[in-house]
């Protein structure tokens, strides 16, 4: 269903693509040996967080983030604008954004120049520009400021090309067709290797997200990869890939795994539930992941109850395997993909039930 291919310095990546989140360079509960064996080709990290922990000095000493961590695939790095703006924003003006890292308390001012420099040192495969993403419900004037700012920041960021690194632009414009078009046209006038639809899935009703996606996708050149940031639950991936989105990321599979939820084609199951205490089936029959090959639901439930760290590892492996299977099925057979997601809920922001 998708002929676009993303070519990074680590190889060719088929689209649509789902990226597990590795905020500080590592996927939680997952050793790289396993990630590499599972053929996970791309993860996304946050460049602002990486610049604080482990810090640019250490990453630079190892020639970039792959050298520092041992991951053999491609890194996307976010500029921070989307992922942390709501929780860690201290201040924003025409020059840039001041973030505060919640863990360390460290404050950092990120300008487009600084974001370019940080992501160059990190040496990621794909660097996202710094954008100005107003909160949902902002007045029209605020969106107009954001469009101008994002354009100016993009101009600085996207024109600083780094060999071997792709650079993606982001457009804004809130929920108004004219403003969306204005921002998109401005951003398309700049050189970029892909584009992200910014300012969506930040609290607006699903119908609004859908309308904007349906309006903007046909306006984007056919060969340009389109990224919907922060979206990655199974049902949304299915729906938005049909609407033309190519790239997704979310903590959904990994975070839910750590909280006891395993993803199956019959919907998510909560392994804490007592109904699994005598259930000797694997999480999903037919799944060939390590958790399904060697463990049954009853055993996994005991590991969870005793807070054994193996549990997080095993269910993370399973959930990422499920997402990989979903993406492969989406590329090969849309009807079968529909079957895999039909038991999932519409609103991924509420914790899944099983």
Q: What is the DSSP string of 184-225?
A: HHHHHTS--SEEEE-S-SSS--HHHHHHHHHHHGGGS-TTS-
Q: How far is the CB of 317 from Zn ion (least distance, A)?
A: 7
Query: If binding is defined by CB under 5 A, does position 318 make contact with Zn ion?
Result: yes
Q: How far is the CB of 35 from Zn ion (least distance, A)?
A: 16
The residue among 154 and 354 lying less far from Zn ion, judged by its C-beta, is 354
> Which of these ranges, 189-197, 201-209, 318-326, 336-344, lies near Zn ion under the rule CB under 5 A?
318-326
Give the active site residue among 131, 193, 233, 249: 249
Cross-strand pairs, 109: 98
Helices (H), the chain: 32-37, 47-50, 56-61, 65-69, 85-88, 112-122, 140-159, 177-188, 206-216, 234-242, 252-258, 290-294, 297-305, 310-332, 334-341
The residue among 195 and 257 lying less far from Zn ion, judged by its C-beta, is 257
For residue 140, the Cα-to-chain-centroid distance in whole angstroms is 28
Is residue 78 flagged as an active site residue? yes
The 3-state DSSP class for residue 284 equals coil
Question: Beta strands 247-250 and 194-197: pairing type?
Answer: unpaired
Q: How far is the CB of 285 from Zn ion (least distance, A)?
A: 9
The residue among 197 and 287 lying less far from Zn ion, judged by its C-beta, is 287
Q: How far is the CB of 321 from Zn ion (least distance, A)?
A: 5
Q: How far is the CB of 291 from Zn ion (least distance, A)?
A: 5
The residue among 220 and 287 lying less far from Zn ion, judged by its C-beta, is 287
Query: Closest Cα to residue 151, out of 166, 176, 171, 135?
Result: 171
φ/ψ region of 297 (left if φ > 0, alpha if ψ in -120 to 50, else beta) reads alpha
Query: Closest Cα to residue 242, out of 349, 320, 330, 136?
Result: 330
Query: If binding is defined by CB under 5 A, does position 197 make contact with Zn ion?
Result: no
Give the active site residue among 3, 78, 193, 210: 78
**Residue the block writes with tokens 């053999």:** 72
The residue among 38 and 98 lying less far from Zn ion, judged by its C-beta, is 38
> Which of these ranges, 37-45, 88-96, 152-160, 315-323, lies near Zn ion under the rule CB under 5 A?
315-323
Which residues inside 233-292 make contact with Zn ion, applying CB under 5 A? 287, 289, 291-292
The residue among 257 and 292 lying less far from Zn ion, judged by its C-beta, is 292
Is residue 185 flagged as an active site residue? no
Judge contact between 347 and 206, C-beta under 8 A.
yes
> Which of these ranges, 117-125, 186-194, 310-318, 335-343, lies near Zn ion under the rule CB under 5 A?
310-318
> Which of these ranges, 92-100, 149-157, 294-302, 317-325, lies near Zn ion under the rule CB under 5 A?
317-325
Q: How far is the CB of 269 from Zn ion (least distance, A)?
A: 12
**Residue the block writes with tokens 């590991």:** 303
The residue among 186 and 289 lying less far from Zn ion, judged by its C-beta, is 289
What percent of the chain is helix, strand and coil (3-state, nearest 5)? Answer: 45, 15, 40
Query: If binding is defined by CB under 5 A, does position 155 make contact with Zn ion?
Result: no
Q: How far is the CB of 134 from Zn ion (least distance, A)?
A: 41
Distance CA 321, CA 328 (A): 11
Judge contact between 234 and 266, C-beta under 8 A.
no
Number of residues that bind Zn ion (CB under 5 A): 5
The residue ranges that bind Zn ion (CB under 5 A) are 287, 289, 291-292, 318
Query: Which residues are known catalytic residues?
Result: 78, 249
């Amino acid at each position: 269903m998708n002929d676009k291919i993303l070519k990074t310095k680590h190889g060719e990546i088929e689209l649509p693509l789902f990226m597990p989140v590795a905020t500080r360079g590592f996927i939680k509960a997952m050793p790289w040996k396993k990630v590499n064996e599972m053929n996970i080709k791309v993860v996304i990290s946050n460049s602002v967080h990486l610049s604080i922990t482990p810090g640019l000095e250490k990453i630079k000493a190892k020639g970039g983030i792959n050298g520092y961590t041992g991951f053999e695939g491609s890194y996307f790095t976010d500029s921070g604008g989307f992922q942390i703006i709501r929780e860690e924003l201290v201040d924003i003006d025409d020059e840039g954004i001041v973030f505060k890292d919640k863990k360390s308390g460290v404050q950092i001012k990120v300008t487009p120049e600084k974001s370019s420099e940080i992501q160059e040192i990190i040496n990621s495969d794909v660097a996202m520009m710094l954008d100005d993403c107003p909160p949902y419900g902002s007045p029209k004037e605020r969106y107009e400021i954001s469009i101008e700012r994002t354009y100016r920041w993009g101009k600085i960021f996207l024109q600083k090309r780094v060999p071997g690194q792709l650079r993606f632009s982001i457009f804004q414009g809130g929920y108004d067709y004219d403003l969306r078009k204005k921002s998109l046209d401005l951003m398309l006038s700049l050189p970029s290797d892909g584009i992200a639809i910014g300012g969506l899935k930040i609290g607006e009703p699903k119908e609004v997200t859908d309308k904007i996606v349906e309006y903007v996708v046909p306006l984007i050149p056919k060969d340009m990869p389109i990224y919907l940031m922060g979206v990655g639950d199974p049902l949304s991936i299915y729906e938005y890939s049909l609407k033309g989105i190519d790239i997704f990321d979310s903590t959904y599979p990994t975070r839910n795994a750590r909280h006891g939820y395993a993803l199956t084609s019959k919907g998510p199951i909560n392994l804490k539930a007592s109904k699994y205490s005598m259930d000797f089936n694997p999480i999903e029959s037919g799944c060939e992941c390590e958790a399904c090959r060697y463990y049954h639901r009853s055993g996994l439930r005991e590991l969870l109850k005793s807070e054994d760290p193996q549990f997080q590892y095993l269910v993370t492996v399973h959930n990422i395997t499920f997402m990989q299977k979903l993406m492969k099925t989406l590329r090969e057979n849309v009807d079968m993909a529909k079957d895999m997601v039909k038991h999932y809920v519409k609103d991924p922001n509420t914790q899944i039930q099983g």
